[in-house]
Structure 1
Amino acid sequence: MQFTISQRFYFDAAHTLQREIEAEGSRRIHGHTYHAEVSLAGARDPATGMVIDLGLLRQRLETVRERLDHRLLDEVAGLGPATLENLCLFIANALSDLRPRLTRVRVWRDGVGDACTLDLTP
């Protein structure tokens, strides 16, 4: 049997973005509340009954959150332009050593209704 475990976190951050549409507002520093959810899949450990200890997963997510929360995303090393796609990839890369491995990263902004999902399943 394979189980999927998910955990969510959020962060508030500012950024700029070079765009052709809505260009003026995007070029100015502006901020959003971002939500992120990571999922991983694997077998349940018979000894613990868990796929992964959720406390461990929360610790790892907190380290990622600290790198993004209340930051100017333009200055976050390794992120690139602060798009939803790049945020998904940044989070996936930061957690790439988790076992079992990530299967999905989703980032969204409730305030404007945007979302991006990165599926990592083969």
Structure 2
Amino acid sequence: MRFEVSQEFYFDAAHTLERKIEAVGSRRVHGHTYHARAVVFGSPDPATGMVVDLGQLRQCLQAVREQLDHHLLDEVPGLGAPTMENLCLFIARKLHETDFPVHAVEVWRQAGGDRCRLELSTEDRLAGL
């Protein structure tokens, strides 16, 4: 028996982006409201009945949120180009640093309908992402 447990958060942030389409607007500093979800798969611990303690997951995600919320993403150490792909990877790496067994991370901008999902294989998790 395998369960999926997830926790969502949001953050507001600004960024610039070099790209070929919509280039002028993307190069200017602009902002979005981002939503993110971290997903953990597993079987419940027999002692606790939980796959993960959601309180601990929320605490870890709050620490990640503080690094992104109301920041210029171009300046966030370890993020790289402020793409949704890199945001997914950044969040997954931060959770991995706290030994959270994250299996997927999703980032989306609801207003624009944009969404990105990173699914981590066992090899990804063992290799440290």
Answer whether contact 1:51 1:100 (CA < 8 A) is retained.
no
- Aligned mates of 1:51, 1:21 — CA distance in 2: 43
- The 1:88–1:50 alpha-carbon spacing in structure 2 relative to 1, beyond 3 Å, is same
Establish whether residue 24 from structure 1 lines up as the match of residue 24 from structure 2.
yes
- The 1:16–1:27 alpha-carbon spacing in structure 2 relative to 1, beyond 3 Å, is same
Partner of 1:113: 113
Query: 1:63-106 deviations in whole A, cap 9, x for unaligned?
Result: 00000000000000000110000000000000014556111100
SS in 1 for 2:46: coil
Aligned residue runs from structure 1 range 1-122, under 5 A: 1-97=1-97, 101-122=101-122
TM-score, structure 2 normalization: 0.90
CA displacement at 1:121 relative to structure 2: 2.9
CA displacement at 1:52 relative to structure 2: 0.9
- Aligned mates of 2:105, 2:58 — CA distance in 1: 15
% identity of equivalent residues: 62
Aligned-CA RMSD value: 1.2
How many residue pairs end up in the alignment? Answer: 122
More helix per residue: 2
TM-score, structure 1 normalization: 0.95
- The 1:67–1:100 alpha-carbon spacing in structure 2 relative to 1, beyond 3 Å, is closer
- The 1:99–1:46 alpha-carbon spacing in structure 2 relative to 1, beyond 3 Å, is farther
Amino acid at match of 1:8: E
Mark the runs of 5 or more structure 1 residues left unpaired by the alignment. Answer: none
More strand per residue: 1
